[in-house]
Amino acid sequence: MTRACLLVLLFFALGGDRADAADLVYPPGSRLGLVPPAGMTTSTNFFGFEDPNTNAAIILVSLPVQAYAELERSVSADVLKREGVTLEKRETISLSTGKAFLVIGRQEIDKTKVRKWILIGASSNLTALVTVQIPDSAKNVYSDAAIRETLATLAIRETIPIEEQLSLLPFKLTELAGYHVGAIMPGRAAILSDAAPNATAPARSQILVTVGPGGPAQTSERETFARDAFAAISNIRDVRVITSEPLRILGQPGHQILAQARDASGATALTVVQWLRFGGGGYLQIVALAPVETWSDAYPRFRAVRDGIEPR
């Protein structure tokens, strides 16, 4: 992960006695959790907690393990100043999850003065980034002591239950056909792969399932729409479309594109299929790819996943 990407995540994530573990809350889909201060509830807009009455918020972001060392080096008063944050204090702290450091500062966002805490914590398998933002008007509701107590409860869970991940999608995946959930974009998309969770070997065949609003109103416009969507697929090159044709998927109008391509490195020959299913004021996009030599085995499984997708 580049330094620029880290800084974007860092600064634009959101412009006493330790609590009992029973009070620990993991926002759905997040590996990070903590005991939120009284008055904050789990957000439906991001991974974290918020108080809509005061606009106070805590946002949780998981970064790669190596991000900790980069942030530890790069976060300074000058860097913070360029992002509009005036540094008040930076300190090293110790958490149950591992070493960490805390940055406290002030910032003005949309003419609102806020106090900001940025906690960066190391662990064996990820870097935790916790951003707390409290408007000055809410400083009597969320005291410095209360925020420190909250940050001290930071916890990291090993995995997110599959059922929890899938519940964040606007569609149901009733058939995984032996594939594993690789990643979830809450409210939008899922990536399935043939790589088992925590496997060190990269995935060879993958499926992306995503939804989008709108779509072509006229049948005659669907092929152009499908080709434009296919052209936007990343991480493939040397694409040669074999077929592009309309078809019905589970009784709904759709479109299929089948193509040959190579992976981003150019080393692996791939077969790629895109299915679009139209209806309900939007469209469903399924993109599946596999090495040419395993395509005949992967294709029936891709179709099983496709035909097992239901609206939520």
Rounded CA separation 41/57 (Å): 9
Rg of the chain, C-alpha, whole Å: 23
For residue 296, what are the CA distances in angstroms to 35, 189, 244, 261? 49, 25, 19, 16
CA-nearest of 294, 282, 278, 275 to 207 is 275
Instruction: Please report where in the chains the tokens 């939120």 appear, as a residue.
Output: 36
| Spatial contact of 21 and 28, defined as CB atoms under 8 Å apart | no
Q: What pLDDT does 131 receive?
A: 96
Q: What pLDDT does 26 receive?
A: 96
Spans of the chain below 50 pLDDT? 1-20
Q: What pLDDT does 51 receive?
A: 97
- Percent share of the chain, pLDDT over 70: 91
CATH code of the region 3-156: 3.40.1000.10
Sheet holding 252-263, edge to edge: 180-185, 189-193, 206-213, 282-291, 269-279, 252-263, 236-249
Q: What pLDDT does 70 receive?
A: 93
Rounded CA separation 58/209 (Å): 29
Segments making up each domain of the chain, as ranges: 3-156, 162-311
Give per-residue pLDDT as tens, 133-175.
999 999 999 999 999 999 999 999 998 888 888 888 999 999 9
Tokens linked to 288: 């599946």
CA quadruple 190, 193, 195, 196: dihedral sign? positive
Q: What pLDDT does 185 receive?
A: 82
Sequence-ordered list of residues with C-beta below 8 angstroms from that of 138, at least 6 positions apart, any chain? 51, 54, 55, 56
| Spatial contact of 23 and 38, defined as CB atoms under 8 Å apart | no
> In a 3-state reduction of DSSP, which class is residue 10?
helix
Strands (E), 35-152: 41-42, 48-51, 56-63, 85-95, 98-109, 112-122, 127-135
CA quadruple 19, 67, 134, 81: dihedral sign? positive
| Spatial contact of 241 and 228, defined as CB atoms under 8 Å apart | no
Question: Which class does domain 162-311 fall in?
Answer: alpha beta
DSSP 8-class letter at 221: G
Q: What pLDDT does 29 receive?
A: 87
**H or E segment and range at residue 165:** helix 162-167
CA quadruple 108, 110, 111, 114: dihedral sign? negative
Whether the model pTM is above 0.85: no
Q: What pLDDT does 128 receive?
A: 96
